[in-house]
Amino acid sequence: MKPFDYVRADTVTRATAAYAARPGAHYLGGGTNLVDLMKLGVEEPAALVDVTRLPLDTVEELPGGGLRVGATVRNSDLAAHPAVRERYPALSQALLAGASGQLRNTATTGGNLLQRTRCPYFQDTAKPCNKREPGSGCGALDGVHRDHAVLGHSAHCIATHPSDMAVALAALDAEVELYGPDGARSLPAAGFHRLPGDRPERDTELRPGELVTAVVLPAATAGLPSLYRKARDRASYAFALASVAAVLRVQDGVVAHAGIAFGALAHRPWRARRAEEALRGAAPTEAAFEHAVDVELSAARPLRDNAYKVPLARGIALDVLTRLAAPARS
Ligand code: SF4
């Protein structure tokens, strides 16, 4: 590992100033991904600005019924928070489906959003990878890509985003709050991560120096039935092969609101807008769910070795939607 400078910040403005003063700096949260990548030589920051002592470690009730989750709230604490479990169950389930107990105790909300792909070519500095080294090629395209994207990929990168939490946040219409050199702003969680296009080195819409300060869960999705389901190679401590987060409101016998997001199918959590549109105003029947999910997944472009993901994701989505609609249909 290359030597690096280290500074611990105690306020958000001091953190962004410390970052700006050190070209090549990275923010350090729980370090559960960044430190691994530093050991592999994939990340070589000139400096680490430690943000774990910032006053961003609380879950705050908002007027009107939403929740603001500070960026340094640990994944375990967020999953166990009574308000999250009761009002946003898909988020708690997604967090508990990720990583291991030890990692969840350390990983932060902001760091979870900013974790990088687990594409094996990205993690191996001897291999070509446009995300790690722009212009070097994509080793996965003709290589091992069973776990890679079926939606929204490009000739430059076919990686998937590994977060479970981010999939639930996308379905729940969460917002990501940021602070940077130009002040504060927020982005929809569903638009925080990017598709690769010809710039796969950029995972998110973050501007240089911006820090994730919080995630806001809206009152609009609080208390609605929501679920997260994940398929993986083993029962725990494995990344998703496909996953689905969904929230559903049925009113007067028809779907009044559906928020659906797929995980592990694309470079970002894939908000299923076409499926949601197909469901709006429809009776929550098996046929309606099948139609909606098929409309969404018709955009899939599987690679040589990952066509299995399409029927897998379809099956999970139908199961999730059927379970969510069950109380309204009984
Ligand atoms: Fe790199 Fe993306 Fe290709 Fe993986 S899929 S080797 S991350 S460019």
Mean pLDDT, rounded, for 259-276: 98
Q: Above 80 in pLDDT, residue 267?
A: yes
H or E stretch at 69: strand 67-70
Tokens 């212009």 belong to residue: 135
Spacing, Cα 57 to ligand 1 middle (Å): 33
Q: What is the pLDDT of residue 178?
A: 98
* Contact residues for 283 (Cβ-Cβ < 8 A; gap 6+): 253, 254, 255
Ranges of beta strands (E only) in 102-241 are 175-180, 183-188, 211-217, 226-231
What's the half-sphere exposure (Cβ side, CA atoms, 13 Å) at 324? Answer: 31
Residue whose CA is closest, atom 7 of ligand 1?
A: 122
The whole-number average pLDDT for the span 289-294 is: 98
The CATH code belonging to domain 5-52 is 3.30.43.10
CA 224 to chain centre: 20
Q: Scanning the structure block, which residue is given the tokens 């130009």?
A: 182
Name the average pLDDT for the chain. 97
Provide the pairing of β-strand 242-251 with 226-231: antiparallel
Amino acid identity of residue 280, one-letter, is R
CA 130 to centroid of ligand 1, rounded, Å: 6
Query: Which ligand 1 atom is nearest residue 159's CA?
Result: 5
| CA separation for the pair 5, 1 (Å, rounded) | 12
What token pair was written down for 22?
Answer: 């050190």
Residue type, 50: D
What CA–CA distance (Å, rounded) separates 320 from 324? 6
How far is Cα 242 from Cα 233, in angstroms, rounded to an integer? 10
- pLDDT for res 15: 98
Atom 1 of ligand 1, residue of closest alpha carbon: 129
pLDDT band per the 50, 70, 90 thresholds, residue 329: confident
For 54, left (φ over 0), alpha (ψ -120 to 50), or beta? beta
Statement: residue 202 has pLDDT above 90: yes
- Please compute the mean of the pLDDT values over residues 5-28 and round it to a whole number: 98
- Report the separation in Å between the CA atom of 141 and the middle of ligand 1, taken as the mean of its atom positions: 8
Phi first, then psi, for residue 93 (nearest 5°) are: -65, -40
Which residues make up the CATH 3.30.43.10 domain(s) of the chain? 5-52
The predicted structure's pLDDT at residue 62: 98
Q: Closest ligand 1 atom to the C-alpha of 138?
A: 3
Residue nearest (by alpha carbon) to ligand 1 atom 3: 138
pLDDT tens digits along 160-180: 999 999 999 999 999 999 999
Distance (Å, whole) CA 97 – CA 228: 9
| Confidence (pLDDT) at 288 | 98
Q: Are 197 and 236 in contact (CB under 8 A)?
A: no
Residues 102-145 pLDDT 10s: 999 999 999 999 999 999 999 999 999 999 999 999 999 999 99
Instruction: Report the alpha-carbon distance of residue 93 to residue 99 in Å, rounded.
Output: 12
Per-residue pLDDT at 328? 81
Helices assigned H by DSSP within 124-279: 165-171, 273-279
Single-letter amino acid code for the residue at 167: V
Q: Distance from the CA of 140 to the center of ligand 1, in angstroms?
A: 6
Name the residue of 42, 131, 145, 156 whose CB sits within 8 Å of the most ligand 1 atoms, as the mutation to test its pocket.
131
Rounded distance between C-alpha atoms, residue 74 and residue 295, angstroms: 37
Instruction: Please state whether the predicted TM-score (pTM) of the whole model is above 0.95.
Output: yes
Tokens of 120: 């094996």
Looking at residue 1, what is its pLDDT? 78
Nearest-atom index, ligand 1, CA of 145: 5
Q: Cα of 136 to ligand 1 centre, how many Å?
A: 10
Q: What is 227-329's CATH number, 2.40.50.140, 3.30.390.50, 3.10.580.10, 3.40.50.11540?
A: 3.30.390.50
The pLDDT-based confidence of 317 (bands split at 50, 70, 90) is very high
Q: Taking CB atoms and a 6 Å cutoff, what residues make up the pocket around ligand 1?
A: 117, 119, 121-122, 129-131, 138-140, 157-159, 200
The residues, any chain, with a CB within 8 Å of residue 4's CB and separated by 6 or more, are 38, 44, 45, 46, 47, 48
Delimit the CATH 3.30.390.50 region(s) of the chain: 227-329
- Calculate mean pLDDT across residues 175-194: 98
Average pLDDT of the residues in 257-265: 98
Radius of gyration for the alpha carbons in the chain, expressed in angstroms and rounded: 20
How far apart are the CA of 198 and the centre of ligand 1, in A? 12
Averaged pLDDT for residues 40-69 = 98
Could you identify the atom of ligand 1 that is nearest to the CA of residue 156? 8
